[in-house]
Every structure is written in C-alpha cells, then in structure tokens.
Amino acid sequence: MFIVQNYSLAVLFCVVTMLCWGSWGNTQKLASKTWRYEFFYWDYVLGIVLFSLLSAFTLGSFGAEGRSFIADLAQADLSSLGSAFLGGIVFNAANILLASAIAICGLSVAFPVGIGLALVLGVLVNYFGAAKGEPAYIFTGVALITIAIILNGLAYKKAVTGGQNARVSGKGIAISIAAGVIMAFFYRFVAASLDLENFALPAAGKLTPYTAVFIFSLGVLASNFIFNTLAMKHPVQGEPVSISGYFKGNARTHLVGILGGVIWCIGQSFSMIASEKAGAAISYGLGQGATLISALWGIFIWKEFKGAPKESAYLNLGMFIFFIIGLAFLIYAGA
C-alpha cells in the first residue's frame, strides 16, 4: 500500500485534506437550487462509501509495503473495527447538523463556527489521545484559531440585523456549534483503530488507514438511515419530506451529491494516511483548516456577506489572519 515517508509530504497531504474538506460544501450549494439538503445527503454518503472502496483496492492494496486491504480486513480485531465504525456514526451525526447549518446560514458561517470549533476541541482530544508534536506551538495555534472563530461569529452578527433574519441566524449558529462539538470526537475513534507508530508493519488487529476509512464509511452509511430519516421527518428548515422525493432527482443532481462525498472522502483518506508522520492532532487540525477554505468560497464566490456593513469585512479579514497564523503554528509544531 502507499505510505507517506516524511513529514513534509504529510503536511502536503494535510493541505489537500484542507482543500477537500473546505470545498465539498460547494456541491451542496449547487444542489440546493433545486434540491433539499436531506436528499443531497443520501448521495453524499454514497460518494464517501464509493471512494473508500476505490482507494482500498488501489492505493491500499498496491505496492510491497504494509498489508493489502483484504489481508488487513481479515486480521482486524473487533475493537479496531468497532472504533472505526463508531467514528463514522459520530461523524455523520455532526455532519448532518453541519449540512443543515449550511442550508440556513451558508458556508462562510457554518464552517468557521462549526468546523472551527471542531478543530479547536478535536486537536485537544487527538493530542491527549496520542501526543505528538510540540505542545506549546499546538496550543498557541489552537488559541489563535479560537480568536478567528469569534471574529467570524461577530462578523455574521453585524451582517444580520432584526426580524426573521436574526432568528434564523441564531438557529444557524446554534446548530453550527452543536455540529462542531460532536465533530471534534470522530477522528479520535478512527485514529484509535490504527497503529499510528508504524503503518508499514502495524500491530496485529490494528487497521491500515485504507481499511479504517472503509469501515468508517460503513458507519456513516448505516447511521444515515437513522439520522437522515429523522432530518427528513423533522427538518430544521422547510416542510418534512418523503424518501420518494429522492427518486425524482435527475442524474446530474445525484452526481453532484456523489461528487461532494468523493471530495470529502479524498480529504479523509489523505488525512489518515498522513497521520503516522504528522500525528493525529496535527493531521486533524491542519485538515480542519478547511474552515478557511470554506469561508473564502462563501464570501468571494457565493457572496454570502453581500450588503453587509464594513465592520463585517474587517472582522472577516481578522478571521483570515488569525486562522493562517494559527495553522502555521500547527505546522511548525510537528516540524
């Protein structure tokens, strides 16, 4: 299987993760013009499962190093399989909330608040679960990113004033916060299923990154029949919808959703592959720099702050600056 051999390449993989995790939301924005996010989400989950299988039978099986996907799956113990599967369930609970927050308040708010919070809490959870990297730089980076999240929240508060918009904004931010708190924990469960010290010769019973991502995707798929069904029956916005509506979508609409899942899963796969050399905390933290990417999409492409006062622009500028410096500290922490 393919294995990252040095820290510099691991950082590059984490940057790819950041781009993928920060960009998949664009597919939801594209689909939302004619398609409810609950329907979109079924295709999104399908995309995650399909790419996890593709990577398992290609990068996860070719080459002389490490165990191939089938061999790794055959020797896995229940503890490792259960941990990766549980990670998928936790992720899905958080991500459905995030998708609903995107539908309410857009990429430039849902991601910086929700995923920014997940980054802060998740880095701490993963660091204490498997310490790697210089803690002073890691915690400084986390503190700076926390300031960036606060600035973004203030920018959104300035942009939304009075009436129904204020009520919607409050709901969107509250859902984003809930998504972020839950999202902080999924990566630790997946990382716990791996031997983070040696991907080439992992301990017996532990999984390779490729097998872990596949089992994770099964957790996402299985839980989706519960979580997304509830979301359809009790939506945060709009009327309840029936599963029959899903089958009324055209091929293009379904493909957009699948593409969203593929993009996200590329990021997840690259993050797990990088975690041996970078450490789980840094790999996760850099990947969740996706908040910066999604904010750029939301502000400059989707014009989600169009008409907002100048104070919002200044606060968002501050968010970008603090985020970039915070991410630099996380990179340096593992160098």
Encode pLDDT of 1-13 as tens digits: 999 999 999 999 9
Buried b (16+ CB within 10 A) or exposed e, 299-309: beebebbeebe
pLDDT tens digit sequence for 235-248: 988 899 999 999 99
- Calculate the dihedral angle through the C-alpha atoms of 84, 88, 94, 97, rounding to the nearest 10 degrees: 180
Cα three-residue angle 246-228-245, rounded to 5 degrees: 15
What residue ranges do the domains of the chain occupy?
7-333
Sequence-ordered list of residues with C-beta below 8 angstroms from that of 186, at least 6 positions apart, any chain: 87, 88, 90, 91, 94
Q: What is the per-residue pLDDT for 126?
A: 92
pLDDT tens digit sequence for 80-89: 999 999 999 9
Given a contact cutoff of 8 angstroms between Cβ atoms, the answer to whether 176 and 101 are in contact is: yes
Q: For all residues of the chain together, what is the average pLDDT? A: 91
**Is residue 158 classed as helix, strand or coil in its secondary structure?**
helix
Q: What is the per-residue pLDDT for 163?
A: 42
Cα–Cα distances in angstroms (integers) from residue 172 to residues 37, 158, 317, in the given order: 15, 15, 22
166 has a pLDDT exceeding 60:
no
Rounded to two decimals, the pTM is 0.90
Residues above pLDDT 90, as percent of the chain: 71
Cα three-residue angle 281-286-292, rounded to 5 degrees: 140
